[in-house]
Structure 1
Amino acid sequence: MLWYSYYIPMLFIPLLGLFFGIYLGKSERHKPPEYLKVLWIPAFILCILVLTNDIHQAVFSFGSNKIWTSKDYKYETMYFVVLFFNIIYPVLTLSIIVKKSKLPNKKILILPNIAMFTLIIYIIIYVVNVGQLWIIRDVTVKICLFIMIIIESCIRSGLIQSNDNYEELFNACSVPMKILNEDYETVYNTKADMYIEKKYIKEAIKEPILLNRNIKVNAMPINAGYMVWLDNLSKMNLLLDKLNILKGQLLEKNILLKAEIELEKRKSRVEEKNKIIEKIMSENIPSLAKMNNILENNASLGIEVLKRLCILGAYVKRRCNLLLLSYDNENISSKELEYCIRESMDSISRCNINCNFTSECNEHISIKHVIVLYDLFENVVECMLSTFSDFNVNIFIKNDNLYLSMKLVYNMGNIPLKEYINQVLNNEKFKDMGGVYALDYIENEVHITMCMLK
């Protein structure tokens, strides 16, 4: 096994050279991808085959009836596989290095190619064993040497960047920079010369300082001295100035836009108010016309006239309030209907009519239903105000349906005909919303029950 052990470096040095080419240009913290570990598998398999050759003789064969010596053997198939990997890995390494360099000058490939072809020729000579030349012996050393020659030729050709010519590079740098010794004396200086007082350098070592608006001094300690350089902030400041100008312009535009938006909001509010006013006026035209007729037909405003105007005024006021609520709400509390009827009942009671009002609901209901019921309530009051003496009203909810119940008590002989009351209650809007009513006569009482089906 010791006789075969020199194949270990023969197999793994070219593989390490391939890894060198793959990792070239990566940072020290670069984590190689997991799939690269597969490259170790062929090398380990071949190494095991070589070291265990005495068992299977797949690499070298010594014959069956002979004493096994290093002078009398033949190469088998796996030996040539080993040589193939010794050639293919350096070729792949050189190809990867050339691809990563991206240098346009093809002459730089002369030295690496010479080294590569020499390695291939050497391996061929070693296999053929021409003339038993001593110079081709010790193949392990020769392959290691050729790998080193290939990498060194890549460095000399510029395929691999080397750490050299620092002084020329530093002098050619256009950045204002200098290297000082521990006494703050200039040792190296770039072509962009600069002069900075020692006190500023000492301050800049602690933290960067501004010489003026456009020049920043930076400094840091290095081995046996200090590094000092300047940053030109003029372009950045120019951009900042432009940004500040744009910022001011945007602020002005923003103020104008806010003013325009506020103006549009005010305009929209005015238009909305006008629409509300127009709707309120159009919805209350019949009631306002009634009030106007009463005023025109009664030159001297008596108590009875004022009472009727008071009832109409309460209705108009409350109906306007319901119309305002309808702009923002589809459903409102049943208390709103209670407030409307209660205020109308207060006005009716001033006409020497005994009024009684009760409410047994406190839920949210459709505002459209509230308006229609209040309109029918007002129609009944206006049409039969002068004929009844007692007026009882009750609001309640039963089976999720809203009910408005009215009981009108008349003196005998003043009870209105059923056809007249049906005509008063005949309202198309009420019917379209699912409204129904019941009309009953009990002696001198008229019972009207209106229901808004849910």
Structure 2
Amino acid sequence: MTNRLIRNYAASGIVLLSVALAYIFRLIGRGSFYPTLFSYLRSFIYIGVYAAWGLSVRQRIVQKQVRRYLTSVSVLLILWFVFRSAKYFIFWQPIPIRYLWYLFYLPMLFVPMLALLIAMSLGKPDTYRLPGSTAVLWLISGALLLLVLTNDLHQLVFTFPQDAALWSDTNYGYGIGYFAVIGWQVLCGVAALIAMLLQCRIKNGRRRLWPVLPLAISLTYLALNYAGMPWLKSLLGDVTAFQSFMYMLCFEACISCGFIHSNSRYGELFAASVGTSAEITDQDFSVCYAARNTEPISLTTMKRAVNHPVPTGNGLTVHTMPISGGYAVWTEDVSALLAVKEESESLAEELKERNDLLRYEYKREAKHRKVEEQNRLYDLLQSVTQTQIDRIAVLTQEYRMTSKTDPAQAKTLLGEIAVLCSYIKRRKHLTLLADRDYKVAVSELERAVSESLQTLKLLHVRCTLYMESGDPMLSGRTAAAIFDFYEQVIEADLEHLQSVQVSLTNAGTLRFSLYLCCKSDLSALADRPGVRYESEGEDDYQCILFFPEGGAP
């Protein structure tokens, strides 16, 4: 026998024992041995039973709206017994007694109506709210209760003899309003039970007919009470005690057979669960419910899983979640995830090795390309200045031979070497710019030519410079071509050069002009494209024009 069944049997036994004890107190109270005391004790027992039942439904019922309605039912049953106790044992004035009797119909009208609202709420989510049209039920029940409470004005519910000195529940008749009240109760109760039967998912078994029995007994009691059977109250008690208990039994039968969903059938749920590994434990991790074929989990593992999931050796991970009164424990099969993780780690390691190899090859290739680029640039720089380098080597040799014997000649040689070195220095910078196809400022070309002219003054050459191109930027190749042409003209007769005038202008066409005074004939330079030679008509003065972007106009 499961713990749930033991608890259910114990609760049922306590309720039956309480009702039996109340019945015994009723029999004792009918005698002369402390009748008031035992009547009070009987009322307290019923009130305690209904209060305990109301607390239990708040813990057992899942849906919020149904739970709220059932709690209201328990409150109405308690009020019913409070009104009864006040009527029989507290008040003795006729008018308060009569109105307490009228108040009996507050629970008698609203409990069946709440049963119908419960039936309409079953199977709905927690956020569900009944439609506004159900307000009609509240209006009808309220109107019938108002009809009962105002009976002294019209006597449509209870009639009293005209010659009666006191109106009381010991001498009265029934009016048409009474049958409307009873009819409304029966209609709501039967409609609620039919709605629950139609919505119930349990299609087989006699258990689904359990709520019919207390309802049938209740209706039979009402019929016999209306017929005026004298033995009925002596045997079963007054309407309040009997009907309130039947109401509670009817609702409890609806819960037990599954009409009203509760969380008290965990044992059946877990017993029917296949393919899961869930368990419910108490605070000490003693298993209360467990699904079928659940692998046992050690107490130590469950306690450790409270703080964090605990992996086991067979690819499972134990999880624990605190719940009311204990813990929910389940296992998660992570073997597939572990396999994927291992494969991912292996692939990551392989990719890391491959990336390291590719990174090494990339660095090696980059280094190789860097060396190649450096060699290329070195070769390029050497190729454009090789003539001057060779010339410097020759002049250096001559300087060594004449430095001691002919100081004047040695000084001239040093001047020529300075001119060549100035060109090499500036030409290498222009070479790098031209190789990358960068733009060169005219001022950069001006500084290169100016530095060369400054070194020419070491050879006592008169120099002037004027540059105005109209465009502050030149292409690297154009600037290099202009500087190369300048150096070629200067070196053509460097030993006998007396003066040089350099200008760069742009009058629609970029023009580089050199006016020189030297002994050598420079007309041979005009053979190259874009060069024009002009003679000044005077001895040793010559003009050479260079058009780097097109040619002589």
**1:374-394 Cα distance to aligned partner (Å, 9 max, x none):** 222112212233434332212
Tell me whether 1:288 sits opposite 2:389 in the alignment: yes
Match of 1:300 among 399, 402, 412: 402
Task: State TM-score, norm by structure 1.
Answer: 0.52
Instruction: Specify the code of the residue in structure 2 equivalent to 1:287.
Output: Q
The one of 268, 292, 305 equivalent to 1:190 is 292
**CA gap 1:363/1:251 in 2 versus in 1, 3 angstroms:** same
1:245/1:396 CA distance change after superposition, 3 Å: same
**Given residue 300 of structure 1, which amino acid in structure 2 is its aligned partner?**
T
User: Partners in 2 of 1:222 and 1:345 — Cα distance?
Assistant: 97
Instruction: Tell me which amino acid in the other structure corresponds to 1:237.
Output: L
Of 252-261 and 166-175, the range deviating more from structure 2: 166-175
Partner of 1:437: 532
Tell me whether 1:237 sits opposite 2:338 in the alignment.
yes
> In the alignment, which residue of structure 2 is the partner of 1:453?
549
Instruction: Name which of 408, 425, 430 aligns with 2:516.
Output: 408
Compared CA separation, residues 312 and 208, structure 1 to 2 (3 A): closer
SS of the residue corresponding to residue 502 of structure 2 reads strand
**Counterpart position of 1:319:** 427
The one-character-per-residue Cα deviations of 1:104-154 (angstroms, maximum 9, x if unpaired) are xxxxxxxxxxxxxxxxxxxxxxxxxxxxxxxxxxxxxxxxxxxxxxxxxxx
Which of these residues, 447, 455, 465, is aligned with residue 339 of structure 1?
447
CA apart distance, 1:441: 0.4
Question: How far is 1:225 from its partner?
Answer: 7.9
Opposite residue 372 of structure 2, the aligned amino acid is E
Between the aligned partners of 1:278 and 1:388, the Cα distance in structure 2 is 31
Q: Structure 1, unaligned stretches of length 5 or more?
A: 1-27, 29-165
Give me the whole-angstrom Cα distance separating, in 2, the residues matched to 1:321 and 1:378. 15
> Alpha-carbon deviation of 1:448?
2.9
Give the AA of the match of 1:453. Answer: E
Specify which of 349, 372, 379 is matched with residue 488 of structure 2.
379
* Residue in structure 1 matched with residue 479 of structure 2 by the alignment: 370
1:248 correspondence with 2:349 = yes
- Note the C-alpha offset of 1:288: 2.8
| 1:3 alignment partner in structure 2 | none
Match of 2:504 in 1: 395
Is there any run of 5+ residues in structure 2 with no aligned partner, and where?
Answer: 1-124, 126-266, 404-409
TM-score by length of 2: 0.43
In 2, Cα distance between equivalents of 1:327 and 1:421: 30
Quick check: 1:210 aligned with 2:318?
no
**Aligned residues between the structures:** 276
Q: Percent identity?
A: 20
**Gap change, CA 1:372 and 1:198, over 3 Å in 2:** closer
1:291 maps to a residue whose letter is: I
In structure 1, C-alpha distance between the alignment counterparts of 2:499 and 2:428, rounded to whole Å: 28
1:167-178 matches, cutoff 5 A: 173-178=274-279
Q: Who is 2:464 aligned against?
A: 356
Q: Name the structure 2 match of 1:274.
A: 375
Letter in 2 for 1:354: R
**1:255 Cα deviation after fit:** 2.1
Q: Secondary structure, in 3 states, of the residue corresponding to 1:190?
A: coil
| Pair member with larger Rg | 2
1:328-360 per-residue CA deviation (whole Å, 9 max, x = no partner) reads 225322233223212211111110112222333
Taking the aligned partners of 2:304 and 2:342, their CA distance within structure 1 comes to 31
| Alpha-carbon separation, structure 1, partners of 2:366 and 2:311 | 53
Deviations 1:378-414 (A, max 9, x none): 1221223343433221223333x3322222246xxx5
Compare the two structures and name the one with the higher helix fraction: 2
CA shift in 2, pair 1:170/1:363, >3 Å: farther
Alpha carbons of structure 1 residues 221 and 353: separation in structure 2 relative to 1, 3 Å: closer
Alignment of 1:77-226 (within 5 A): 173-179=274-280, 185-197=287-299, 200=302, 204=306, 209-210=309-310, 215-219=316-320
SS at match of 1:452: coil
Please say if residues 174 and 190 of structure 1, whose CA atoms lie closer than 8 Å, have aligned partners that are also in contact: yes
Q: Which moved more, 1:276-285 or 1:172-181?
A: 172-181
Question: What residue is the counterpart of 1:121 in the other structure?
Answer: none
After superposition, the C-alpha distances for 1:69-106 in whole angstroms (9 at most, x for unaligned) are xxxxxxxxxxxxxxxxxxxxxxxxxxxxxxxxxxxxxx
Q: Tell me the distance in 1 between the aligned counterparts of 2:357 and 2:287.
A: 60
**Paired residues of 1:176 and 1:194 also in contact (CA < 8 A):** no
Q: Which amino acid aligns with 2:295?
A: D
- Contact 1:439 1:448 (C-alpha < 8 Å) held by counterparts: yes
Tell me if structure 2 keeps the 8 A contact 1:215–1:230. yes
Per-residue deviation at 1:304? 1.2
> 1:317/1:226 Cα in 2 relative to 1: closer, same or farther (>3 Å)?
closer
Task: Tell me the equivalent position of 1:328.
Answer: 436
Task: Determine helix, strand or coil for the equivalent of 1:218.
Answer: strand
1:356 partner letter: T
What is the alpha-carbon distance in structure 1 between the residues aligned to residue 304 and residue 453 of structure 2? Answer: 94
Q: 1:421 aligns with which of 486, 503, 522?
A: 522
Aligned-pair Cα RMSD in Å: 3.7
Whether contact under 8 Å (1:352, 1:389) holds in the other structure is yes
User: What is the alpha-carbon distance in structure 1 between the residues aligned to residue 301 and residue 334 of structure 2?
Assistant: 21
Change (3 A) 1:181 1:257: same
Distance 1:287 1:199, change over 3 A: closer
Distance 1:303 1:222 in 2: 105
Q: Secondary structure of the equivalent of 2:522? A: helix
User: What secondary structure sits across from 1:449 in the alignment?
Assistant: strand
